[in-house]
Every structure is written in structure tokens, then in C-alpha cells.
Amino acid sequence: MREILISIILLMILGGIALGRYPYFRMNRATITLIGALLLLVAGAITLPQAYAAIDMNTILLLFSMMIVNANLHICGFFALVAKKVLALAKTPRQLLFLVIFSSGILSSFFLNDTVVLIFTPLVLEILHHVDQKPVPYLIALATAANIGSVATIIGNPQNMLIGIYSHIPFSTFSLMLSPLAIINLFIIYFLVIIVFRKNFRTVLLPSVIVPRPHVYRPLLIKSLAVTAGILGALLVGVPIPLAAFAGASVLLFTRRLKPERVFSEINWTLLVFFSGLFVVTRSIETSGLLIHVQKYMGTFAGKQVAEISIISALLSNIVSNVPAVLLIEPLMRGYANQIQGWLTLAMATTFAGNLTLIGSVANLIVAESARLRGVHLTFFEYLKIGIPITIISIFLGILWLILLY
């Protein structure tokens, strides 16, 4: 009876996470996860000390620290400046598409992909309005490229951060293994968008347009870029990932001019709460004894191949989202023979799976919502024209790449 009750609670939590809300209630994924954690505590699935221990402070610290770095880069005008410089270089629709894809993809590998699309979407729409281009192909390219690019490093997206903490794979190893895969797939996005929306990319010159100069606070820009370079340097020489990010964030908070409230207002506190609650929820599967049943149906990954892990991870990511998928799969990874290959496969599959549908990743939703507020509607089915092929192709290439590497 107890196991049935706990199973029902877990299904309700995972269902709420998948939908993003409950009908008739003002609840988002964070509140659903928190209330779910309470119900699991009451049901005896996990004790309070176990719940405290379940919260991985390394991941929370890394995510929080990178948010502070991103907040400073946003405030000083770095992202707007990059977008202006990149978009001003385009002379044809194809050039503009190429620059949108590679600028968002590359930036997403070093900064959270959600941050990149949040800044880029209104700027891209503004440019497209001036040059009389249909925005949908560019918006789809922006979202998918940000997801693809984020796979290249441990700090590119939240699920990679989790994997980096759990796997202890060095930053340089992770990047060397997955960066080539990201670059190849950015080119594939470019060609897919041109093929699917070929009427939009005839070889004609774009009208000349003066891009408004963004407000840039130069002293903070120099400091933020120097700190970012320092974090990357520290990661490359083997400094623990959370420590390197926290040190950089602390340096940026040491200031005479920028009020802390301004920085903290940029922090995505909801995401931090969601992560904390999710750690408790997923650990309760283990402490309640349900993990044994999960392993019975899924099996440990000890005897599975890259293709099987990729398919399981991709399917689960589209059911409950990629971060919960990583946390659910993490206990099963312990028995995998080649740990580095297994964790890289999980990073690849859960990230690329986010491109399948418009609701597959937070970055996709940010692009769609930001566009909607400006009168541009990116529909679910229109997105699928690119989402389905790029997901299938990218995961297939990822499987081949990781098999060849190991």
C-alpha cells in the first residue's frame, strides 16, 4: 500500500513537471516539485535528514555562480553588443541565418542557453522587422542552435552541470569530446532551415539598416570578460568546477558601483528552487525502494550500448524534461562499464532531445513566448518541421561519434 501511494505521488509530480502546470492552479514546475517533496516526506518515502542530504550543493552553487556571471554580462551590455555586431555583418538572408545560428550556438556553450535566447530573441526580431524578413525560420534556428551549442561544455546548460558534478569528467575532456559534435550539428541546422524554408532564403541583398547601439557599461564589461576568462582558465587547469565558478562570481560581487540588488534581480531563483526540490523527489525513488522496480524494467546500464542509452534518455527527456531525466537516470549509470562514454552519451542525448518539440526545452519556450509578446506566433507544428529532423539527425550522429571515440 505504501509503495502504491508513493508511486501515485511520484507520477503526479512527474506529470506536473511534464505539463509545466496543473489545470486551475497557479503552480509552476518549482511549486509542483516543492509540494511533491513535502508529500513524499509525509508518506515516508524519504526522511528529512535524507532530503537535506539529497540536495547537491555543488550543482546549486555552480548554477547560482554562473547566473551571477551571466547577470553581470547582461547588465554591462555584453550580449546586446555581440548581437549588434553579429547582425550588422549580414548582407543576405543566408548570411543572417548563419550568423544567428553560430553566434547563439557558440555563446550558449559558455553561458546558459536560456540566457542567450532571452537576450537574442528581441534583438533578432528587431533586425528582421527592419529588413522585411519572415521571423519564424530565424526563431526556430535560434532556439535549436542554442540547444545544440550548449552541449559543448559542462557550463552550457543545467543538465550538463549536473552531469559534470556527478561524473567528475574534466572540463577540457568534456569539451574536446562534444564540441566537434556541436559544430557539425550547427551546420546541419543551417542547411535544414534553408531547405525547409527555401522561399525565405533566395540570394537577395538585405536592405541596409542601422542597428541601434546598445548601452554598454565599459568598466563592468572589461571586468566581467576578464572574470569569465579566468573561470574558463581555472576549469581547463583542473580547478573544481563549482569552486572556479563561485570564485568568479565572488569577484564580480566585489564592487563599489553595482548594487547587489541589481544583480540578484537577474537570478532565476525559480530554477534554483526547482533543482532543490527535484533532488529530493528523485532521491526518494531510491530511499523508498522503488529504484529496484525501476531497474527491473529498465535494467542497469551495465550491459547497454550507446544507442540504447541515447534512446532511453531522449524519450525520458521529452516526457519529464531533460534535468529530471538526468536525475532519474543517474542511479542507473553507476553500473555502466565505460563511465566517461556513458555520461557523455547522457549529456548528448538529453540536450539534443530538447529540440524535438517546442516544449522540449526551456530555451524553446523562451523564444516562443518572447516572440509572442512582440506579435510573432511560432506554432507547435511549424516548429516540428525542423525539430523532428534535427533531433533525429543530431542524436544519430551523436551515437556514431561516441561509438567511434570509445
At 319 the pLDDT is 77
Lookup: cell for 80: 546586446
Rounded distance between C-alpha atoms, residue 367 and residue 350, angstroms: 19
- What confidence category does residue 30 fall into, taking pLDDT thresholds of 50, 70 and 90? confident
Q: Which of 164-173, 297-306, 362-371 has the highest mean pLDDT?
A: 164-173
The rounded distance, in Å, linking the Cα atoms of 17 and 317 is 11
Cα–Cα distance, 242 to 154 (Å, whole number): 11
Round the average pLDDT of the chain to a whole number and report it. Answer: 85
Give one DSSP letter per residue of 180-216, joined into a string: HHHHHHHHHHHHHHHHHTGGGG-S-PPPP--PPPPP-
Of the spans 53-67, 177-191, 255-269, 310-324, which averages the highest pLDDT? 177-191
- Look up cell 545544440; give the residue: 148
Do residues 161 and 59 make contact, with C-beta atoms less than 8 angstroms apart? Answer: yes
Read off the pLDDT of residues 150-163 as tens digits, 9 standing for 90 and up.
Answer: 999 999 998 999 89
pLDDT category, 343, cuts 50, 70, 90?
Answer: very high
User: Greater confidence, 141 or 54?
Assistant: 141
CA distances from 190 to 97, 101, 102 (A): 7, 7, 9
Percent of the chain, pLDDT > 70? 93
**At residue 17, what is the residue type?**
I
Calpha distance 154→165 (Å, rounded) = 9
Question: Which of 133-142, 284-293, 296-305 has the highest average model confidence (pLDDT)?
Answer: 133-142
Could you report the per-residue pLDDT of 217-258, keeping only the tens digit for each?
889 999 999 999 999 899 888 888 889 999 999 999 988 778
Higher pLDDT, 4 or 20: 4
Least confident among 53-57, 99-103, 377-381: 377-381
